[in-house]
Amino acid sequence: MAKQITIIGTGYVGLTTGACLAYLGHQVVCIDTNVEKIAELNSGICPIYEKGLPDLLAKGLETERLSFSDTADTKLLQNEFIFLCLPTPQAEDGRAELSAIYEVAESLKSFLSSKAIVVNKSTVPVGTCKVISQIIGREDIDIVSNPEFLREGSAIEDFLKPDRIIIGANAIEASDRVAELYSNLESPIIQVDWASAETVKYATNSFLAMKVSFVNALAAVCEAVGADIELVAKGLGTDNRIGSKFLQPGPGWGGSCFPKDMQALVRLASDSGYKFELLEAVVDANAQQFKRIAEKVEKAVGKSLEGVHVAVLGLTFKAGTDDIRNSPAIAVSKLLSELGAQLNFYDPLVESLPEELSDGIVHDSAEKAVTNTEVIVILTEWPEFKDLDWIKFQRIAKSSKIVDARNLLNPQTLRDIGFEYASLGRK
């Protein structure tokens, strides 16, 4: 049954949530203080690169189930459901920064209609729903935690076909009313208390990051013992207690969530009296992985990287997104730059470099980035890198060396072309 929903915040989470809830048949209005962004959205322009979102946006506008407003005018705050999809960035000390959430909760409390439900979708430390409830301070308002598990590049699919829907509440009636919003989806709904729902989110991201760091470390072991990580990962992943996903070696994990959520959970645990050393080790292992890739590049060149021209293919934190926040590609490139390398970048979706890489050059093609370089390093698994003209690249590069930090290419194919090819944990 269609419900009246207000979404506060139109970032990755807010936009995806609003467009998908409208697609599920609800009446949705999304609010943001960014006037330009709201004007763009009302004219159907999608401000983020996310597969399928522009279509859902257009459909929502066309059916008039979805609209955008830059003013939180009171009637919009009187809808039955108010979703908080606000940024909770990482503060200097690693803790999550919650001022946006608290300010919105403060501004909401006098406008909310009776029996309204405030649904928090932002990633927040355990105990935040309780604080929101205290800030709003109204017996007739319920707060519900409904964490998201959206991956950039597959956010729509992850929203409409989730493995599970987590609902955290301290009143079953409110929990059931939020569950009802998702009645068109087949996914299992797990109804728990506030703290457990808030913890599941951090637990999921941390476990996934740990799994990635495990396979990266295992790749290093494979190199040492002469095993092949792809065969080992296949053997590992077919154990249904482990599963084959998130076992792809790479330069390390990054993005706008993993690094932030890992630090937040480590902090949260230590604030609560538990030193989460296992997670601290995973964070350290990730920094080690960046160094391991930079060392591989130096080893491939066989001399100091001082003044050496290096081609870097990929700047985003993974393929399928234009997001460079906490990208491992940037972390590795910074290490290469510190070793004196002259960096020549190409990425299908990134045209400008962050400040910390400003002495590098971004090219508008992989061919230009590779020309006259002494080594090529692949840091993002863009599928188009598989179809590059590697025979030509072998000719136009100054020397034919490649470090494939995403195990994207076939070693034998590249060696047959004449490349000295190195990758992670493969023979």
Residues with catalytic annotation?
257
Of how many residues is the chain composed? 427
Confirm or reject binding of residue 148 to ligand UDX (CB under 6 A): yes
Q: List helix spans (H) across 86-225.
A: 99-108, 128-136, 155-160, 172-181, 194-225
User: What backbone torsions phi and psi does residue 403 show, to the nearest 5 degrees?
Assistant: -115, 110
Taking the C-alpha atoms of residue 266 and residue 191, their distance in angstroms, rounded to an integer, is 25
Q: Residue 234: CA atoms inside 13 Å, Cβ hemisphere, count?
A: 5
Compute CA distances 271 → 126, 136, 210, 267, whole Å. Answer: 11, 25, 21, 6
Among 19, 22, 150, 377, binds ligand UDX (CB under 6 A): 150
Compose the 265-304 pattern: x for residues touching ligand UDX by CB under 6 A, - for all others: ----------------------------------------
Angle at 70 between CA 68 and CA 73, to 5 degrees: 95
Contact 399, 374 (CB under 8 A): yes
Among 23, 194, 258, 390, binds ligand UDX (CB under 6 A): 258
- Quick one: 17 or 373, whose CB is closer to ligand UDX? 17
Confirm or reject binding of residue 337 to ligand UDX (CB under 6 A): no
With CB under 6 A as the contact rule, which of the stretches 225-233, 249-257, 294-302, 353-361 interacts with ligand UDX? 249-257
- Quick one: 248 or 373, whose CB is closer to ligand UDX? 248
Contact residues for 383 (Cβ-Cβ < 8 A; gap 6+):
319
With CB under 6 A as the contact rule, which of the stretches 1-9, 112-120, 248-256, 302-310 interacts with ligand UDX? 248-256
- Quick one: 162 or 309, whose CB is closer to ligand UDX? 162
Confirm or reject binding of residue 121 to ligand UDX (CB under 6 A): no
- Quick one: 104 or 247, whose CB is closer to ligand UDX? 247
Scan residues 205-234 and list those touching ligand UDX (CB under 6 A). Answer: 205, 208, 212
Confirm or reject binding of residue 248 to ligand UDX (CB under 6 A): yes
Taking the C-alpha atoms of residue 229 and residue 220, their distance in angstroms, rounded to an integer, is 9
CA-closest candidate to residue 113, choices 155, 77, 83: 77
Among 317, 390, 393, 419, binds ligand UDX (CB under 6 A): 317
User: Cβ 258 to ligand UDX, closest distance in Å?
Assistant: 5
Confirm or reject binding of residue 152 to ligand UDX (CB under 6 A): yes
- Quick one: 256 or 344, whose CB is closer to ligand UDX? 256
Scan residues 171-210 and list those touching ligand UDX (CB under 6 A). Answer: 205, 208
DSSP state string for 49-66: --TTHHHHHHHHHHTTSE
Confirm or reject binding of residue 159 to ligand UDX (CB under 6 A): no
Compute CA distances 139 → 109, 134, 169, 194, 252, whole Å. Answer: 11, 10, 14, 17, 46
DSSP state string for 396-407: HSSS-EEEETT-
Scan residues 339-368 and list those touching ligand UDX (CB under 6 A). Answer: none
Taking the C-alpha atoms of residue 382 and residue 401, their distance in angstroms, rounded to an integer, is 19
Confirm or reject binding of residue 250 to ligand UDX (CB under 6 A): yes
State the number of binding residues for ligand UDX (CB under 6 A): 20
Residues that bind ligand UDX in the complex, under the rule CB under 6 A? 148-152, 205, 208, 212, 246-248, 250, 253-255, 257-258, 317-318, 328
